[in-house]
């Protein structure tokens, strides 16, 4: 048996092929689909691999040198700090690993998000953090074709193949709705962001309906108002809800921003919260606690999600081992905006 | 006189030099510093320039083709939406011109901002929006050396040479302080972000001191508490202020976030706002109006500033004509958190 030659340069696939007297395609097959290659050829190739000290991940290392150490994140909005805390933790953890974060804000517009994905890839982003699963499958294919790993945050769904870190939006909202029904509420309305392009909002509405069913109510009776994100839109939505369904005693909003708007509208209408009407949110952003009365809401582990997302995405860029999706627990913050149903 | 030759390719500096029988350096000098070249040579070179139809901005046009249509913005924080509204307007206006915006958040850290500037330039940003003037002059030189135009926002100072769109932070705060003194307050304290690396905060404190002088008070008597940005820090700062200067009847905060924290601390201490203590802010972010009592503050024209910043920066990239700095007016929003001094 020959001694391994003293190579100065890193051995290539072609070196292995030459040494084993086979084509590079055969070497590649031996490494990737060994059962498609005859035993004798395979042994000769693997011996050459061993002799030369060839390692397929030399290629990965060469690729690594091309990394820009710039990561991208696209969030739906910069307003009201909904994503600020999570993204800040994401950035801090990336910073500890020498990565710089560039952020884009899609204003909840799918077409704009797509443009921003393409811009970040064109500008050399090593990897992307995206919020929620819902987007054109072609965009996922585009990222795959460019070898840019992408991690989904703020959502978790074991049915979907995208790697994600998030929480069970439907389950968390169902847990809060259960408490609402336990307080005697039978006429519940929901104020939501448009559900067609927002899987988080859609799942939260489904959560309310699931809890209705469990409480012996008909999920079809849920009064639903869809409105774009924003405090003023939450105000308008509450007025609309109460005009259409005056029997409502509790309004569950799919996020804190809409809930803060609903709180304001209730006060303007002379309604006491929670004596006359209960209002709940989702996210537990800073203003949830500052509101008067303070908002009962679902607490999302923003900081942990952001920090762990960074670690996962760094692993995904390294390609060392498959990265498993992570489901984080949420919990309910019971404050003053939820009370017993007015009799 | 020869007819201009029919050039297919765009004439270069070397073509001009060959035609005029001089060196390219001489052509360059004729174009940039004509008074350093003898009259005869200059005339010969300028004739060659005319004959060939050479235009120095052919180079600029070639450069233009290299534009990525990606603009960068670096903001000090994503929290509490201080910059969200302005940046959203900036992005919308850029979008109307086919530009994509990438954002970085420096967490008020100078070193991190510098890294982000370099990352955005390395990733091909055509131009940058930066907040405030204060940064290492080398960073401005770096941007100049890379021909990346940079526009300063949220500050205006005619003394400084950087192109900017912003407002007179000192003047705006002095106008608010004047109203505070008119309400009979004589013991005023100021809660500020660290002023060493934040020119907006520093100028706002100077504004309070300027108004003190005008009101016949000694600016040195201003009680000053410096604390990093954050609602909780505002709470702690108010407690510290009142422990050190219990005679204080009005606390002027250099931003709304610190003021919201101060409001909370006042309530926790059992103080009525404004009967026992007046509190003011700066920025007029969304929570200023949501606070109870609603916050008296300086309204910053976030939307107009962001929109016009986009137009200015697009002009700066085009190099067509010099772009003048813009000073925007601010105004005071008198709400419930400012009242007459407790007697």
* pLDDT tens track for A147-169: 999 999 999 988 888 999 999 99
pLDDT per position as a tens digit, B54-93: 665 444 434 445 789 999 999 998 887 789 889 999 999 9
A303 touches chain B (CB under 8 A): no
Grouping H, G, I as helix, E, B as strand and the rest as coil, residue A52 is helix
Residue A85 and residue B103: Cβ atoms within 8 Å? no
Structure-token pair, residue B183: 């309400």
DSSP characters over A314-329: HHHHHTSSPPPPEEPP
pLDDT per position as a tens digit, B142-173: 999 989 999 999 999 888 889 999 999 999 99
- Burial class of B191 by CB neighbour count within 10 A (0 to 12, 13 to 18, 19+): buried
In chain A, which residues have their Cβ closer than 8 Å to the Cβ of B121?
none
* A122-136, B30-44, B92-106: least confidently modelled range: B30-44
B residues 144..173 contacting A (CB < 8 A): none
In chain A, which residues have their Cβ closer than 8 Å to the Cβ of B99?
none
Structure-token pair, residue B246: 């219990």
Report the pLDDT value the prediction gives residue B64, as an integer from 0 to 100.
45
B103 touches chain A (CB under 8 A): yes
Indicate if the pLDDT at residue B204 is higher than 90: yes
Tokens 């809930």 correspond to A259
Indicate if the pLDDT at residue A229 is higher than 90: no
> Is A332 or B50 the better-scoring residue by pLDDT?
A332
pLDDT per position as a tens digit, A165-183: 999 999 999 999 999 999 9
Report the pLDDT value the prediction gives residue B55, as an integer from 0 to 100.
63
> Is A197 or A336 the better-scoring residue by pLDDT?
A336
A333 touches chain B (CB under 8 A): no
> Which band of pLDDT confidence, cut at 50, 70 and 90, is reported for residue B323?
very high
In chain A, which residues have their Cβ closer than 8 Å to the Cβ of B77?
84
Query: Average pLDDT for residues A270-276, to the nearest whole number?
Result: 97
Indicate if the pLDDT at residue A62 is higher than 60: no
Residue A68 and residue B231: Cβ atoms within 8 Å? no
> B229: which DSSP letter?
S
Which residues contact residue B198 at a Cβ distance below 8 angstroms, ignoring those fewer than 6 apart? Answer: B76, B108, B132, B134
Phi, psi of A271 (to 5 degrees): -90, 140
Query: Average pLDDT for residues A297-320, to the nearest whole number?
Result: 94
The CA-based dihedral angle spanning residues A22, A24, A29, A31, taken in that order and rounded to the nearest 10 degrees: 100
- Best CA proximity match to A309, nearest among A180, A183, A185, A166: A166
The percent of residues in chain B predicted with pLDDT above 90, rounded, is 70
Alpha-carbon gap, residue A30 to A23, rounded angstroms: 11
B219 to chain A nearest CA, in Å?
Answer: 34
Q: At what angle do helices A169-182 and A199-214 cross, to 10 degrees?
A: 40
B22 touches chain A (CB under 8 A): no
Query: Average pLDDT for residues A270-292, to the nearest whole number?
Result: 94
Alpha-carbon gap, residue A256 to A284, rounded angstroms: 7
A residues 115..134 contacting B (CB < 8 A): 115-116, 119-120, 122-125
* A1-15, A86-100, A187-201, A321-335: least confidently modelled range: A1-15
Q: Which of A78, A100, A116 lies closest to B88 in CB terms?
A: A78
Query: Average pLDDT for residues A64-85, to the nearest whole number?
Result: 85
Structure-token pair, residue A176: 């809060």
In chain A, which residues have their Cβ closer than 8 Å to the Cβ of B87?
78, 105
Residue B119 and residue A104: Cβ atoms within 8 Å? no
> Is A91 or A6 the better-scoring residue by pLDDT?
A91
DSSP characters over B63-112: HHHT---EEEEEES--GGGTTHHHHHHHHHHHHHTT-EEEEEE-TT-HHH
Which residues contact residue B195 at a Cβ distance below 8 angstroms, ignoring those fewer than 6 apart? Answer: B201, B202, B205, B226
Ordered domains of chain A (ranges, CATH): 13-63 (1.10.260.40), 69-167+302-330 (3.40.50.2300), 169-300 (3.40.50.2300)
Residue A290 and residue B286: Cβ atoms within 8 Å? no
Indicate if the pLDDT at residue B233 is higher than 70: yes
A206 to chain B nearest CA, in Å?
Answer: 30
Phi, psi of A90 (to 5 degrees): -60, -45
A84 to chain B nearest CA, in Å?
Answer: 5
Indicate if the pLDDT at residue A245 is higher than 90: yes
In chain A, which residues have their Cβ closer than 8 Å to the Cβ of B92?
107
- Which stretches of B167-245 are assigned E, i.e. beta strand? 188-192, 223-226
Tokens 């582990």 correspond to A301
Best B264, B290, B303 residue to mutate vs chain A (most A CBs within 10 Å): B290
């Amino acid at each position: 048996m020959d001694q391994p030659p003293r190579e100065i340069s890193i051995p290539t696939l072609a070196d292995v092929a030459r040494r084993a007297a086979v084509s590079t395609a055969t070497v590649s097959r031996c490494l990737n689909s060994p059962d498609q290659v005859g035993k004798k050829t395979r042994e000769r190739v693997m011996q050459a691999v061993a002799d030369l000290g060839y390692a397929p991940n030399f290629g990965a290392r060469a690729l690594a040198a091309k990394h820009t150490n710039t990561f991208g994140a696209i969030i739906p909005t910069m307003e009201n700090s909904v994503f600020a805390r999570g993204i800040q933790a994401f950035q801090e953890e990336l910073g500890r690993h020498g990565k710089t974060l560039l952020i884009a804000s899609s204003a909840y517009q799918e077409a704009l998000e797509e443009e921003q994905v393409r811009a970040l890839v064109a500008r050399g982003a090593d990897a992307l953090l995206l919020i929620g699963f819902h987007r054109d499958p072609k965009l996922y294919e585009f990222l795959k074709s460019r070898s840019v790993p992408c991690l989904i945050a703020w959502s978790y769904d074991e049915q979907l193949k995208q790697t994600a870190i998030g929480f069970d939006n439907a389950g968390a909202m169902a847990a809060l709705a259960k408490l609402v029904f336990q307080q005697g509420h039978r006429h519940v309305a929901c104020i939501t962001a448009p559900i067609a392009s927002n899987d988080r909002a859609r799942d939260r509405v489904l959560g309310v309906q699931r809890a209705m069913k469990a409480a012996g109510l008909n999920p079809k009776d849920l009064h639903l108002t869809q409105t774009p994100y924003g405090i003023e839109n939450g105000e308008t939505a509450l007025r609309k809800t109460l005009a259409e369904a005056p029997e409502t005693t509790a309004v569950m909003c799919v996020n804190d921003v809409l809930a803060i708007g609903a709180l304001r509208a209730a006060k303007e209408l002379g309604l006491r919260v929670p004596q006359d009407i209960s209002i709940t949110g989702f996210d537990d952003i800073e203003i949830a606690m500052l509101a008067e009365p303070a908002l009962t809401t679902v607490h999302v582990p923003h900081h942990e999600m952001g920090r762990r997302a960074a670690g996962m995405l760094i692993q995904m860029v390294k390609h060392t081992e498959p990265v498993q999706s992570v489901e984080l627990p949420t919990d309910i913050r019971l404050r003053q905006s939820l009370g017993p149903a007015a009799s």
